[in-house]
Every structure is written in structure tokens, then in C-alpha cells.
Amino acid sequence: MNFAPVLLFFAAAFALVLISLILNRLLAPRNPYPLKLTTYECGEEPVGSPWIRFNARFYVIALIFVVFDVEVLFLFPWAVNLKTLGMFAWIEMAVFILILSVGLAYVWAKGDLEWIKPKPDNYLPTQESK
Amino acid sequence: MIIELLTQIIFWAFVILTVGSAIVVVFSKRIIYSAFALLFTLFGVAGLYVFLAADFLAASQLLVYVGGILTLIIFGVFLTTKLHGMSIPEQTHQRYLAIIPVAGIIAILFYVFFSVDWFAHASAAEPTTKDLGKLLLTTYLVPFEVASVLLLAALIGAMRLARPREEDQDD
Amino acid sequence: MIIPAEYISLLISIVYTAGVVVFVLLFVLLCNWLERKISAHMQDRLGPMETGGWHGWAQPIADAIKLLLKEDIIPAAADSKLFRIAPYIVFMGSLAGFAVLPFASNLIGTDLNIGVYYVIAVTSIVVIGLLMAGWSSNNKWSLYGAMRSASQMISYEIPVALALLVPVIAAGSMSMNEIVQNQAGGFWNWYVFKTMPFSLIAFIIYFWASLAESNRAPFDLPEAESELVAGYFTEYSGIRFAFFFLAEYSDMFVVSAIAATVFLGGWHAPFPFLSFIPGIVWFVSKAAFLVLVQMWLRWTLPRLRVDQLMHICWKIFLPFSFVNLLLVSLWVVLKG
């Protein structure tokens, strides 16, 4: 177990960005004026702030993700031991996955995985109607 | 010699990174800075796990806390309205009552800090994943399966809370 | 005078890291040129033809110099602190993945015991970096792009991880080198062909999900030019933009290289009699082949919609990967 090279890679990435930015500072022209520093909005004057309240869908997806992320965390130690522990370990994980599949089924059935929720009027005739 | 010195320097750099960014998290007036500063705190803690020879835990720290929880927190911050220039309420309520749990937490932390022989654990630098998995699947089987039920409950509860109000009435 | 072994290994690590950085830079230049040529030829154009003479080979070099010489613009409305930090985070998270890639049997930054898991973990840093970039730009396109990117990357992380578990189970280890060593002896021993058809399914799921994770077409909605300009790095220009670009292309290589390592035998030759060719050649050509497939797909397939993206991830990839994982693990257990 040797994490030193990992740190070296982080350091190398940091150094590369830093050196390039210093080079850029030395070589590039610097002539800012207010018009140049305006926010890009396809040539229009920016309207309103982008820092608005966001669609809660993103938050819901992140919530579901956290739960499955923790599951993945448990799966890796299981996977490396599977060959030595055999059938018993497999059943344990099958139960584990099954329990969490109930969660997936729940969010699926409740429509939390749908990105756009169509209003009943927008439904096609073939789908359930109000 | 130089290697040991380097290790020491890197260790303290991680400590400073962790504590320094944690201070930003707590004292920053803008909630978005607190959220992003948490990245450095969590990364620093992962680095400290590496120093404790807990390789699997370090990667899990990044995977779950940085990848999952921090993303969730940032999304949560984006959900708050009027983010620009929003300040966190600075008043503290029930200051004296808060001393009790805080003192309790500090006492536990100090107890753990002094009761574990950190250097002995860190010097036995062996891969931890296999042993972890074995323990999970044999000795700690019941907590492991209970964890899945806990996760399920957390998922369903969180979804229930996150869902828009008007739908709740439909249920 | 005897130099302690530790110093030598530290020195080797530093040289190796520098070598990988140079490799990444060269690879990105080459890819940039290739992508333009490929897209051009697929659309009956020629692409760059002037710079450097032969088929405009020097175009990416000229572009790199141009980016370095451009004025560094930070929009007045942006949050300049976070705006400056974000390229560091994204590029660091992206380059960190290279630390465990086994270019050859002895050419590896560090053969971490948690290799595969480590790569999945460091990807998370990139997510936060681009959220930071998108938010600090104070631009609507940037923030939308960042939100889409982040939710897409985290969603597809689950199928990626579940697919990578299949070779981990087969090898009984997460170490990159051990996984590669277990695939020695010819292409029929590669994990993509072992325990058919489960491993093949895992490979396909991994490859598609990794396209989404590296924001490549048909999953490139975060940077959908026609609607979101350039996504989370719309406001970035010059050298700061260059690092987002670098991170994106190095991500392409990382995901392909991981597929090559855990599914396609890494640095092993497809036939034993071809093993006189050095491992690094096999490894890089396998990864490069997958990168080419990524480019091919980008210029062939239309872009998905956000709801389709989420549908594919949570309702197709996720259940399939779970079932696949259970079946393959059962297979391994029964075979003993």
C-alpha cells in the first residue's frame, strides 16, 4: 500500500495548472474593460440572476444516488471475498440487494425517477387518462 | 530521514487543510462557501485516513461524502431561494443548553483520541478491504443486513419528504 | 555512497508522474486533431488542412499556444475566488485517475490494493469541481450545464461501479495489476469473454455508462452547444478553458483505459505468440481503440434528452446491472 504516487499526481496536476496560469499572466495581454467582463448571454444584456431556486428533481436524484452509493460501498469488500466465502456470502448479498431493490421499486413506482412529469392533459390517449 | 520529514510535512499539511477548511465551513457568512469548503475538509479527512493505513475507508470517504453527500448538500443549497448575498442567521439560541451536548461530544472525542494507540495501528499497513469484507459477512452479518433495511427506510423517508406537497395529498 | 532505496523509488515516482503528464498532454493534442479530422470526414468535410502542412497536423499545437497567449477573462459578475479554484479541482480529480493505470506490468504509478474503487472515488472530485465552475460563473448556461453534468455523472456512477464489480469478483481483487495478471494467456482469457454472457453485458454497460460519466455523446447534454452553449465552462476562456478541455479528454482516456484493463486484458497480447511486443503498446492501443469508438459514436448518434438519460440510467442500466451482478456472482460461486 503506497499512496505517495497518488499525492504526486495531485501535486503534478496542481503544478501544471499553476505554471500555465503564471505563464499566461506573463505572456498574455491584459486589457479588461466593463463590456468585455459582462456575463455571456448570447449577445443580449443578461436578464435576472442565474442564482435562482433550482428544480427539485436534481435534489431527488442526488438523494437516490446517495443510498445506492452506500450500497456500492458495501459491494466492493463483498466482491473481493466472494470466491473464498462462497455460497453463504452470495445469499447474504442477494438479500441485501433484494431489500434495496424494494427501494428502487418504490421510487420507480412513485414516479420519482421521471424527469418531466406530464400533466394529465398532456397524456396520450393510449396512456391512463384522468 | 528526508522521507520521514516529508511524511511529517505532508501529514501536517493535511491537518491544516482539514482544520482550516472546516473553520471556513463553520464561520463563512455565505452558505455556498461553506458547502464548497467542505470539499477540502472531506478530502483532508480522506488523507488522514491514508495516514492511518485505512485505504478502503479513505476511498469510501471520497466516494460517499464527496461524491454523494457533498453533491447533495450543494444541490440543496441551489434549492434555497435568493442565494445571492444570503447570510446565515447569526443569532444563537439556547446557548447554555447547547453546552451540554457539545461538551459530551468533546469528551467522547478526547476519550477516543487518548484511548487508541494510533501509531501502532498505522504502522501495520496492510490492505484492509479483504478483512473488512470478511468481518462484514461473518461476524457483523446482522448489522450488515440491518444496514440495508436502514438504507431502505432512509430512501423511502427521504423521498416522501422531498416530494412536492400537492402530491402528498394524492397518495 | 549508497543511496537509500526509498529515495530512488521516490525519484522514479516523480519521473513517472512527469512522464504521464507529458503523455496526457500529447494524447490530448492528438485526440483533438483526430476528433476534428474524424468528424470532418464523417460529414464529408476535410477539417484542418493548412497548419503544419500534412493534413493540418500542427493545428492542435497552434491552438494550445493560442490558448496560452489569450487574455484571461474573469467576468465581473462571477464569484472570482471559486471561479479560479474550479479548474484546479477538475483537473486534479481527472489526472488522479492515471495514478493506478497499469501501462505495462511494471509501468504503474502505484498498484493500490483498492485500485478500481479508487478510480470511482476520485471521479467524485470532478463532480464538485464542475459544480463549482458552473455556479461561480454566474451564468445561466454554466449553472444549467453544471447541474445536468453533476446529476448525470453521479447517476451513471452506480452502473459503472456495478459493472466494474464483475471483473473484481472474477479476480477476487481490486488491484489493477492483479486483475490484469489474471487475464494472461490470450484473448479468450480476457474478462470480457469469460463467464459469458454476463461479463460481456457488464462490459457494454460499463462502456455506455462511462460515456455518460465523461459527458461524451450521445450523453453530452451538459455541453449541448445548441441549447447550453458550452455548459459549465461557458464563461471560461483562454488557459482556464484549456484545463476543462484537458480534463474532458483525459477522462476519455481514463475510462477507456479502465475498460481495457479490467475487461480487455490490459497490457496482455491477444495471442500468446504476440507477447514479444511490449505491454505498453497493447495497453495504449486498446485504450486508444476505445477512444476512437467514443469519437465514432459522438459523430454518429443524436443527443439524448434529459428525461431519456435518467430513464436509461435508473430504469435500464441499474436493474440490468443488479441482475447481471447477482448472476455472475452466482456463477462464480457455483464454479467454485
> Residue B28 is part of which domain span?
2-87+95-139
Measured CA to CA, the distance from residue B140 to residue C188 in angstroms comes to 39
The CATH number for A25-116, chosen from 1.10.10.10, 2.40.30.40, 1.20.58.1610, 2.40.170.20, is: 1.20.58.1610
Q: Is B152 a domain residue?
A: no
- Do A105 and A114 contact (CB within 8 A), yes or no? no
Work out the minimum CA distance from A45 to partner chain C, whole angstroms: 12
Give A130's pLDDT tier (boundaries 50, 70, 90).
very low
Residue C11 has a CB neighbour count (10 Å cut-off) of: 11
Encoded amino acid at A41, one letter: E
Interface of A with C in 36-95 (CB under 8 A): 36-42, 46, 49-51, 54, 58, 61-62, 64-65, 68-69, 72, 75-76, 79-84, 86-87, 89-90, 93-94
**Number of domains forming the structure of chain B:** 1
Measured CA to CA, the distance from residue C126 to residue C130 in angstroms comes to 6
Confidence at residue C22, expressed as pLDDT on a 0 to 100 scale: 92
Confidence at residue A124, expressed as pLDDT on a 0 to 100 scale: 53
Convert the pLDDT of each residue in B81-93 to its tens digit. Answer: 555 555 556 566 7
Work out the minimum CA distance from B31 to partner chain C, whole angstroms: 13
- Contacts A50 to C, Cβ<8 Å: 138-140, 142-143
DSSP-derived letter for residue B143 is H
Tell me the mean pLDDT in the region C60-84: 85
Strand-pair partners of B87:
B30
Confidence at residue C336, expressed as pLDDT on a 0 to 100 scale: 67
DSSP-derived letter for residue B30 is B
Measured CA to CA, the distance from residue B153 to residue C96 in angstroms comes to 35
- CB-side neighbour CA atoms (13 Å) of A79: 27
Contacts of C235 (CB under 8 A, 6+ apart): A39, A40, C75, C78, C83, C137, C138, C139, C142
Q: What are phi and psi of C107, to 5 degrees?
A: -105, 85
We report the CATH number of the domain holding residue B72 as: 1.20.120.1200
- Parts of chain B with a pLDDT under 50: 167-171
In this predicted structure, the answer to whether residue A80 has a pLDDT above a threshold of 80 is yes
Query: Chain C residue closest to A21 (CA)?
Result: C239
Q: Is B163 a domain residue?
A: no
Three-state secondary-structure class, residue C72: coil
Confidence at residue B164, expressed as pLDDT on a 0 to 100 scale: 65
Q: At what angle do helices C318-335 and C140-171 cross, to 10 degrees?
A: 10
Percent of chain C residues topping a pLDDT of 70? 96
List the single residue in A52, A67, A78 with the smallest CB-CB distance to B137: A78
Q: B123 touching A, CB under 8 A?
A: no
In this predicted structure, the answer to whether residue C301 has a pLDDT above a threshold of 80 is yes
In this predicted structure, the answer to whether residue C35 has a pLDDT above a threshold of 80 is yes
- Contacts C151 to B, Cβ<8 Å: 75
Tell me the mean pLDDT in the region A45-55: 69
Mean pLDDT of chain A: 79
Work out the minimum CA distance from B22 to partner chain C, whole angstroms: 17
pTM over 0.80: yes
Measured CA to CA, the distance from residue A60 to residue B162 in angstroms comes to 7
Confidence at residue B168, expressed as pLDDT on a 0 to 100 scale: 46
Convert the pLDDT of each residue in C157-180 to its tens digit. Answer: 899 999 999 888 888 888 888 888
In this predicted structure, the answer to whether residue C227 has a pLDDT above a threshold of 70 is no
Chain centroid to CA C289: how far?
A: 13
Tell me the mean pLDDT in the region C32-60: 84
Contacts of A12 (CB under 8 A, 6+ apart): C17, C18, C20, C21, C95
Convert the pLDDT of each residue in A59-75 to its tens digit. Answer: 888 888 888 888 888 88
Three state DSSP letters for C115-184: HHHHHHHHHHHHHHHHHHHHHHCCCHHHHHHHHHHHHHHHHHHHHHHHHHHHHHHHHCCCCHHHHHHCCC
Confidence at residue A129, expressed as pLDDT on a 0 to 100 scale: 42
Task: For B76-137, give the DSSP string.
Answer: HHHHSSS-TT-B-----SSHHHHHHHHHHHHHHHHHHHHHS-HHHHHHS----HHHHHHHHH
In this predicted structure, the answer to whether residue C236 has a pLDDT above a threshold of 90 is no
Measured CA to CA, the distance from residue C147 to residue A57 in angstroms comes to 11
- Do C102 and C269 contact (CB within 8 A), yes or no? no
Q: Is B153 a domain residue?
A: no
Confidence at residue C222, expressed as pLDDT on a 0 to 100 scale: 64
List the single residue in C113, C121, C147 with the smallest CB-CB distance to B62: C121
- Do B75 and A54 contact (CB within 8 A), yes or no? yes
Interface of B with A in 17-46 (CB under 8 A): none
Q: Is C233 exposed, middle or buried (0-12, 13-18, 19+ CB in 10 A)?
A: buried
Q: What are phi and psi of C104, to 5 degrees?
A: -155, 175
State which of A96-105, B73-82, C305-314 shows the largest mean pLDDT: A96-105
Any long-range contacts for C5-13 (C-beta under 8 Å, 24+ apart)? Answer: C6/B3, C7/B2, C7/B3, C10/A4, C10/B3, C13/A4, C13/A5, C13/A8, C13/C109, C13/C110
Three state DSSP letters for C20-63: HHHHHHHHHHHHHHHHHHHHHHHCCCCCCCCCCCHHHCCHHHHH
Query: Chain C residue closest to A38 (CA)?
Result: C75
Convert the pLDDT of each residue in A111-128 to its tens digit. Answer: 777 766 555 555 555 544
Confidence at residue C146, expressed as pLDDT on a 0 to 100 scale: 85
- Do C303 and C139 contact (CB within 8 A), yes or no? no
Convert the pLDDT of each residue in C116-160 to its tens digit. Answer: 899 989 888 888 998 888 888 888 788 888 888 888 888 888 999
- Do C118 and C112 contact (CB within 8 A), yes or no? yes
C-alpha cell at A96: 441485501
Q: B59 touching C, CB under 8 A?
A: yes
Strand-pair partners of C107:
C104
Closest CA to C19 of C94, C119, C126, C109: C109
Three-state secondary-structure class, residue C186: coil
- Do C244 and C90 contact (CB within 8 A), yes or no? yes
Confidence at residue B91, expressed as pLDDT on a 0 to 100 scale: 64
